[in-house]
Amino acid sequence: MTKKDGHTHSRFSHHGSQESLAAYVEQAINQGFTEYTITEHAPLPKKFLQDFVGPIDECLESAMTQVELPLYRAEVDQVADQYRDRIKIKHGLEVDYLPGYEQEIREFINHQASWLDEIILSVHFMTDDLGDIRPIDYSEAAFGEDFASELVQPQKLFDRYYQTVAASLGLDFDSAITVRVGHMTLIRKYQHYFNLPQFDENIKIKITEILRKIKAKNWQIDFNAAGLSKPYNGESYPTETIVKEAVKIGIPMVYGSDAHDVASQGLYYEQLEQVLLDCGTDFTD
């Protein structure tokens, strides 16, 4: 059976460890993984960086630069070759969906398509009440400042997030590229800090609609372990309730450590696998 980590990072993330990519891969091999997709944060579109109204560090610390992209690709190619007899390494990127920048995103992915095996399509940014795009997971302080008015009515905050996730599903990519929807409850990263309520029935309906669209597109879901280690979260992304619904619909679930340091590689794999086993299924490779 394949044991896969489908969401991993490297020294190019700008918000993680400077440990070598080989160190991550060695750790994965030691943990019994047989397949490993490297999905570093793709460069943000140049136009988005020019338009961004917040502190520029919120962008610069979120993704690699265009200059770093060929270095990243070369490093992935190198470890894939170095470890080819011990583990299957796939080429990947984690791509940000940014409202209003769909053309730039498509052009970027099309340009990288011949190299890519898989992408994770994620929402790390969404519009605030003024229509400016802001990060939702940079820090609890930034989140509280950027979305202060929305946090007064959290269900509206959730609604905007899932509108953004739903909009991301309008993107289409080369059929040869495997696409996963990344950590689709990331909006809850600081839930205990801001005492966020559970999703109301309207949000649950939106999530069900999103799951059906994911199924219709033959995409996968990133069953992401990172939230379990976050001090103000403590849950997987998505939550177990959503995972169980996705499994009933027939959406493939892929484990993602979302490791930004070697110590986080492979965390909670067995715990998340057990959730799927209890549903009568297992991770998809």
Residue 88 CA to residue 36 CA, distance in Å, equals 6
**Spans in the chain with pLDDT lower than 70:** none
Indicate left, alpha or beta for 65 from its phi (over 0: left) and psi (-120 to 50: alpha).
beta
Summarised one tens digit per residue, pLDDT across range 9-65 is 999 999 999 999 999 999 999 999 999 999 999 999 999 999 999 999 999 999 999
Closest CA to 161 of 190, 193, 191, 124: 124
Instruction: Please give the structure tokens belonging to residue 161.
Output: 């997030």
CA angle 265, 266, 268 (to 5 degrees): 125
Do 279 and 244 contact (CB within 8 A), yes or no? yes
Residue 217 CA to residue 114 CA, distance in Å, equals 21
At 13 the pLDDT is 93
At 176 the pLDDT is 87
Quickly list DSSP for 56-86.
THHHHTTS--TTTHHHHHHHHHHHHHHTTTT
Contacts 24+ apart (CB under 8 A), 245-250: 245/207, 245/208, 245/211, 246/211, 246/214, 246/221, 247/276, 247/279, 247/280, 247/281, 248/279, 249/211, 249/212, 249/215, 250/215
The angle, 0 to 180 degrees and rounded to 10, between the axes of the packed helices 21-30 and 69-82 is: 40
CA angle 180, 177, 77 (to 5 degrees): 100
Phi first, then psi: give them for residue 108, nearest 5 degrees.
-65, -50
3-state secondary structure of 255: strand
What single-letter amino acid sits at 252?
P
Do 223 and 254 contact (CB within 8 A), yes or no? yes
At 235 the pLDDT is 98
| CA dihedral for 38, 33, 77, 18, sign (positive or negative) | positive
255 bridge partner residues: 223
Residue 215 CA to residue 246 CA, distance in Å, equals 9
Superfamily of chain region 4-278: Metal-dependent hydrolases (3.20.20.140)
Burial class (CB in 10 A: 0-12, 13-18, 19+), 279: middle
Instruction: Please give the structure tokens belonging to residue 258.
Output: 């979302």
At 131 the pLDDT is 94
The count of other CB atoms within 10 Å of the CB of residue 85 is: 6
Do 5 and 256 contact (CB within 8 A), yes or no? yes
